[in-house]
Structures are given as C-alpha cells and as structure tokens.
Structure 1
Amino acid sequence: MITIDGEVVKEPKAILRDGMELVYHRLRWREPDAPYLLQVLYEDDDMIAVNKPAGLQVLPGGLFQQRTVLMQLQWRASKGSPSLETHGSHPVPVHRLGRGTSGILLCAKTKVAKTSLAAFFAEGTSLIGDSSNTNMEQSKRRKISKIYRALVNGILKQDKIIIKQPIGTARYPGVAKGLYVASASGKPALSKVEVLERDSQLNQTLVQVEIESGRPHQIRIHLSFIGHPLLGDPLYDVGGQPMCFDSEHEDESFAEDGGYERPAKPVPGDCGYYLHAHQLVLSHPTTNEVIKITASLPPILRTQAETEELM
C-alpha cells in the first residue's frame, strides 16, 4: 500500500531522501450507516443545541470519521445553512453523548462560548469532590443542569435514590486506555434518580436521572451499579462492571463507544439502549440569562400520562 518512486516498499527502515515521492494507496473507506437528521432545539449567536439521534457519534473516532455530529455541523455551516450560519464559524460540541444516547447536545459557536460552557461542565463535576459543600449549596453554584430519561431492568423499590459511586477505569480487551467502570478508587460522581413509572408486568422501571457530574457512561454505570442496568445495554451488567468479554466484539469501537449496537429491526422511537438527554438548564455564556432546553421524548420513554396527553 506504500510506494517510493513507484516501487512497493518492502523494507520498513527505508531511508527517505530529498526528491523522493512517497505514496500511500489507502483502501477505500466505507463507514457503517448512521442516522443523520439533527433537529435544532435552540440557537443564538453563541451556541446551538441539537437533538442527537441514537446511533450517531458526536466526534470522529473508530469506524466513524465523516458520519458524526461534528462533521454534520461543520458541513452545514460551510454550506450557509440558515439555521447554522454564524459569520463563518463552525459549531463544536462542548460535551459528549454516547453514540447510543439520544437527546440534547450543546455546541458552541464562538471561542468565548466554548471556553465558558466547557468551564460550566467542568465546574459541576469538580464540585462533587468538594466535601465541604452540601448538595444544596452545590446545586446553587452550578451553572448547568442535565436531566435524562432512562428505562431500566427490574423494579426500583425506592422512589428516589442518590448514587455516589466513584467511576474509574479497568483493563478491557480492545480499549487501550481502559473501560470506565464502577471503582472504589475512581473519581467522585453523583446521580439523582427518581422513579416515574413502574411496569411490573414487563419488569422494568422508567426513571428520571439528574447528573451532578459528567463522568463517561455515568448514568449507565450508576444504574447498573444499583442492580438496574439500562434495558438493552450490551456492555454494563449489575454492579457497574462490563459483561463477560465476547470475541465477537473484539474491535475497539464496540467498547469505546459504549458497546452500542443498533437493533437489527429498530422499533418506532428506538433510542439505542433507552437513554435520552431530555432537559438542559444553563446560564447563558455571555448574558447569564437562564436558558431551558427540552428535547421531545421517544415514545418508549414517556409515562402513560404523557402518552395520553399527546393522543
């Protein structure tokens, strides 16, 4: 696949000299299919919030280099799309959502907004490790709040539960930097879980989760840690640990993007492993105005009352 002056390179220690022509004949790259529709939920000169579908990766990596949220935003901005046009700037995500997670993704349009919003997210996470503050004091200081909907296995007995399990990394096949898991020696993390509806017949519970910190895969790890993994989660098992390694998923992308697998026969409203970023409340990065953004819920993540209200 590599030639020097038209000759195939057979010696890896070949020396290059001035005037030589080195060519890499890369095989044609074909990325897996992925959703591409982005609904704009909020936009001004500083930021834009979009509703990301499950199955769409946020940043380039692994098998996905072009079919990502970042590339879509940059492509639409370069094409002068009215909804994204902002003096030639390219919106960039300021936080991450797993490929299988749907819902609100916040992006910055300017360097100032990017710096401020990134600081808001980082500050919220850092406050969790400050034991000198009460939860109420921490909530007052936070400039950004994220609320998710999730569908979990089993019936949660408590109506409300606060999970403070630290999250760290553990060695895992195919993940060079280690896989994020529940770990006593990990970094502080805090999730507030509230039961919205229980379905004893299907043995599942619909919950709302507000995360005070933003560790990778935090909600999935925390819910599985208390014995209620997300419905359909192919990676995390009870206890916040990964399921037994399956050689079928030996490629790095499987665990790197959270083990997301699009169902062979998607159902209406399918959102991967049933996790949706539903609401985002934040202080505007330049005006300090309180902004509330809401993404519509997939049918399977609505309560019975919400479903009836829409009928």
Structure 2
Amino acid sequence: MKNKCDIVQDLLPLYVDGCCTQGSRELVEEHLKECPACKQAFGEMTGEIPVPEEPQPEAEPVSAEPVPEEPEKKQEKTFRKGMKKIRRRWIASLIVVIILVPLLLLGINQVRGEGLCYTNLREFYLAHAFLGKMKAGDYEGATKYVDRETRRGEFQERFTEEELANYDQDAIDTFVAAAQGYTEMGGLSGYRFHWGGYASAMVGGESFDGDTFYRFDFTITVGGKDYLASLEVTDNGVTNCSVYDNPMGGPQQLNAINVWEYTLWDEYEARYDNPEREAAYTAFVEKRAYESGLQVAPK
C-alpha cells in the first residue's frame, strides 16, 4: 500500500494539471476514495481541503521585573499615610471632646443647681424656640411656646367653662397684638444666651400652681439696640418675658408681651363683671396666699 501511495502522490501533479493518461487518472481516483493521506495531499494541491494549522506553543508570560520605587517617593508616600492616620485620630479625639465636655458641664451644673443642666434643657429649648419665632416675626407661632395652660388654670378659678370657650384663640390674639410692639420698634433681629454669670440659667422658683420654672438671661437686639431679656419658662412653655433697658425696666412696647394675660383678664372681667364672683375670687386669692405663707390667715 505504501508503494501505491508513492505512485499516486507522484501522479497527483499530473492529475491536477490534467496531463496523465486515462488509466493513470482512474488509478488515482480509485485510490483517493480509500486513502485519506493521499486525499489530504490532493486537497492541499487543489485548495479544496484547508491545510491544518500547526498548534503554536503558548507563550509563557513574561514576568515583569518590579521597578524599584524612588526613595523620595517612598518617603513621601509613607509620610502621607502617617499624616492620614494622625488626622483620623485627631478628628476622633476632637469629636469625643465635643461630646464629653458639654455632658460634663451639664453634670456639674446639675450638682450645683445652677446654669444649664439636664433638668432644664427642655425649658432652654422652649426659650430658644420662642425667641426664634419672635425673630421671624411669627408672633402667632410664638404662642405655641407660651405656657397658656398655666394661665388657663388661673382663669378657671374666676370664669366658667362657657365663658372660657374661646380662651385659646383669645389668648393668641391678645399676645399677637401685644407683640406688635417689636415690629413697631424695628423687629427682633438677633438674640444670644448669656453663658457666663450666675443668673444666666437658674431655678426661678415655682409658679402660682406649683410648677417649677427656670429663668434664662438673653440679650436681644430690637431696632438695632441691645436689651437684656429675662425669660421664665416651665416645661409647658414661656410664662414671662421681661425686657430691661435700665433698672426701671425696658420700653413699654417690648414688655407688653409679658402682661398679655393681664390684658386678657381685664377684658374678661369687663365682659363678665359679677360682684359675687369678684368676692369669691378675692377669697380664693387670699386663701392661696395664706397657704403659700405670704400673708396671715384671711378673716
């Protein structure tokens, strides 16, 4: 068979060119039907069968030699990393100080019983919220931080529930009208709490109903002029806001909001005047004053 393959492969060029005899042609064709090797050789000559590509060996990855880092850049990189760590630690320490120092001061004031402390933080917030609304000129909004309920209790001792049906709206309207004095004087443009000093935040005492109130001192700026303002606040809101310009008191327009409840009281008295009620209320006041130790027993 090997000799026949040699003969056929010798005849293939003549067969491809069509120059062999009829007998040689038949021999080649018959052999190609049964010999894959010669058929492959015929295909390579005629292009009918693609020549298989020899597998190429995979190129081995060339390991890149690390480029040595310059000493200056290495030192700079190390320095930046060190500074980054220091910065993070410094920021963390600062945050701890910012948190702990106020907590420590609040605790000290709590023990001393003066200054901002844990038990008057709500009252301090209400004072700030009240002044914030006043600064914005939202006088009706400021009444949300006014202790109207304590005043309602005093009104209930004198007037009936039917007569107090519109108390909330009447109180709001009376306060807003009184607060217009701030607008007349140029408006409240700023305020700041007095952090130093004994009187900046202290227990002011108890209200007529026995609620503890705290006093906070602020400097308020109205019409470009600074005034000392003292706010008395319970956990229900502001009960008084006194403004001082001198020992005799501040401008009447600014102190009007301190007496809004008296204005409303006078209006209710004028509206529901009753001698019997007047006598009953006078007896009630005298009794409460006696119980508080302010005067001798009523006759």
- Shorter-chain TM-score tier: under 0.3
Q: Which has the larger radius of gyration?
A: 2
> TM-score, normalization: structure 1?
0.19
Between Structure 1 and Structure 2, the one with more helix by share is: 2
> TM-score, normalization: structure 2?
0.20
